[in-house]
Amino acid sequence: MALRLIVAVVVSVGLSGAPALAQQGPAGITTPSVLAPFDPQAAACSAPSGLGKSLLFAMDNDRDFITGAGAGLMAAAKDRGLSYAAVNAQSDAARQAEQIRAAITAKSGAVVTAPVDALALAPILQEVIWSGAYVGTIVPPPAITILNAPQYLTGRTLAEDAARHIREKFGGKADVVLLTHDSLQFLAPRFAAMRDVLSEMPEVTIVADISPATVDEAGGYHAMQTVLEAFPNVDVVLGADTVVLGALRALREAGRDRPDQYLGGIDGEPQAVTEILGGTGPYKASIALSSPIFGYALGQYAADWLEGRSVPQAMDVLPFALTKDNIAQYRADQNDPGAVFADPVRRDAYLRMYGNICADSRDQYLNFPWSSEAG
């Protein structure tokens, strides 16, 4: 889900380095730099003129993660008196480009998008920025506010929860299987984080560190079958939810699943959540990125932008480790992102903002693949 977005960004940016269109406005910040924490008290500036109080969400497709973000955007638009519209490109980059151009024509005040083709969409998004409108992207540049999913932190969050379980249930000694995702290079920090955390536990052994041939349930199933031939008893399995669910099926078929095992995934897949809620199986946690909450935040910042306020240049959506003890609260937060955003403590648990920008300083928009974990 969120991964596909990130894939598009990395591929497009990685191969081109910067948009190759005719310069019609400022290029923005193209050199990777570190942003200071967002200052909500920063001075306001002029509100953009000639733009409607409207918010468009240009989706790449309608997967759960994106529709969740749309729900948050819609709630924020409603709370701030913006008109809201959502369009689905159905993974068609050209269609998405047309949809956003239409927004420019309509002088829409804000556009939030999950690009199908980040490289192709970048010059169009620059046009939106130059028009004075707010642009939020999930995840690639250029944008007034870039949403980032910190991969290392995501992996570390999962690994630390697993480490806690290993210490509590196994006395610090465990055989661990990492089901990686070699086909998506940008996800490597996730697994690097897992290896870093586990390497601090001298009695933990990563008995398998392999990438399933396909990153889905079947791939996880076959990879785990292979691992079980060499290591019939494993204590911990970490990876994306889909592959870990496949590994769980392999464990169950081999009769090697145990209640004290720790299976943990990333993405908050509904089936993983169901396993976690069961409470007695090996599936113990899933790392989720709350798209309604960051969607709501982007909607709020879009409204602020149109009012001349300073908004963040970038925003981390923080990983949230779902366990059977906190899923109810997590779901409640998903359903009421406005309440979370209004509560600084709860908001900080989900989001972290960086940099400041307003309509007068919009030439300082980010035009490089920003990450809070870079450098």
- Could you list the residues that contact another protein (CB under 8 A)? 182-183, 205, 207-211, 213, 226-227, 229-231
CB nearer to another protein: give 90 or 185.
Answer: 185
Nearer to another protein, 39 or 209 (CB): 209
Minimum distance from CB of 221 to another protein (Å)?
Answer: 15
In angstroms, what is the minimal distance from the CB of 310 to another protein?
A: 43
Q: Residue 267 phi/psi, 5° resolution?
A: 120, -15
Reference 9, options 153, 125, 134, 152; nearest CA is 125
Give min distance, CB of 20 to another protein, in A: 23
Q: Is the dihedral of CA 7, 13, 15, 20 positive or negative?
A: positive
**Nearer of residues 141 and 189 to another protein, judged by Cβ:** 189
For another protein, the closer of residues 183 and 361 by Cβ is 183
Nearest approach, Cβ of residue 238 and another protein (Å) = 15
Nearer residue to another protein within complex by CB, 225 or 326: 225
Question: What is the C-alpha separation between 255 and 175, in angstroms, rounded?
Answer: 17
* Cα–Cα distance, 252 to 258 (Å, whole number): 9
Dihedral over Cα of 150, 36, 355, 24: its sign: negative
Question: In whole angstroms, what is the distance from residue 219 CA to residue 241 CA?
Answer: 12
Backbone angles phi, psi at 164, to 5 degrees: -60, -45
Kindly give, in sequence order, each residue whose CB lies less than 8 Å from that of residue 336, ignoring residues fewer than 6 positions away: none
Query: In whole angstroms, how close is the CB of 349 to another protein at the nearest point?
Result: 36
